Amino acid sequence: MRLKDKVALLTAAAGAGIGQATARAMAREGAAVVVTDIHGDRARTVAAEIAGEYGARTLGLACDVTSVADVSRVVEATLAAFGRVDILFNNAGTNRPTRVVDITDEVWNLVLGTTLTGTFYCCRAVVPAMIGQNSGRIISVTSVAGFRGLAGGHAHYAAAKAGVMAFTRCLAMEVAPHRITANTIAPSFIFNEFIPHIYPQDEIDRMFEEIPYPRKGTPEDVANAALFLASDEGEYMTGQTLCVTGGSWMR
């Protein structure tokens, strides 16, 4: 029960991957979890499942992180329901693999808007409550794409993830005096059942081949890193990027 009595607000937490796995891990460790996702029906279903499986206090809410109104509504709902917000897990991010010359303004704005601007909106909305509490943990999911060159049309995504890492370092400096930490987790390829809808099979095969460690990374591997950063054990770490990659960033 490493997160007993903590309140965690998670974005993009009703999908098949890292967000839901982290919501489950945090609930298992005793936190009340606010499961938000652009798909409100799925967020409510996942919140109900987590409440049933772990006996956790949960809330399931629709939230598109590109909407300032949605973000402030879920922060207000979290404070109304639980009175505080100890952990913000910024999981929302999206990719549309496209070569630079073919990236339309619409695709650029979707990827940057969800991944970078959405993270900013969520941080801006929770920090005042965390300052009021004199405590807080902000954890944002980035990617090794943020510091590696990658073929295959990831320039907009990589720029957005690098932006989240730079944003987080500066945020960490600003909020440290209030005992708030801000860190990022950079996974490499983490498989879930939805991945084949985003990436072509040859790209999936190539990403697996780059991983030295002899098994596939799972959403739970990333959730475990998030637990560490959210727990008492992670208190003195801030402005950092924790890589969960099976070693693939070295390649």
Ligand X SMILES: NC(=O)c1ccc[n+]([C@@H]2O[C@H](COP(=O)([O-])OP(=O)(O)OC[C@H]3O[C@@H](n4cnc5c(N)ncnc54)[C@H](O)[C@@H]3O)[C@@H](O)[C@H]2O)c1
Q: How far is the CB of 66 from ligand X (least distance, A)?
A: 5
54 annotated active-site: no
Beta-ladder partners of 25: none
Give 227's contacts (C-beta < 8 A, 6+ positions apart). Answer: 2, 3, 25, 26, 29
The sheet that has 180-187: what strands, in order across it?
Answer: 58-62, 32-37, 7-10, 87-90, 136-141, 180-187, 241-244
Residues 6 or more apart whose Cβ sits within 8 Å of residue 209: none
199 versus 239: smaller Cβ distance to ligand X:
199
Residues that bind ligand X (CB under 6 A): 11-12, 14-19, 37-39, 63-66, 91-94, 114, 118, 141, 143, 187, 189-190, 192, 219
Output Rg (C-alpha) for the chain, integer angstroms: 17
Q: How far is the CB of 61 from ligand X (least distance, A)?
A: 11
Whole-number minimum distance, CB 173 to ligand X, in Å?
Answer: 23
Q: Tell the smallest beta-carbon distance from residue 222 to ligand X (Å).
A: 7
The active-site residue, picked from 157, 199, 213, 236, is 157
| Closer residue to ligand X in complex, CB, 64/86 | 64
Rank residues 37 and 210 by Cβ distance to ligand X and give the closer one: 37
Burial class of residue 164, CB neighbours in 10 A (0-12, 13-18, 19+): buried
Q: Which residue, 194 or 235, is less far from ligand X as judged by CB?
A: 194
**C-alpha–C-alpha distance, residues 86 and 93, integer Å:** 22
Q: Which residues are catalytic?
A: 157
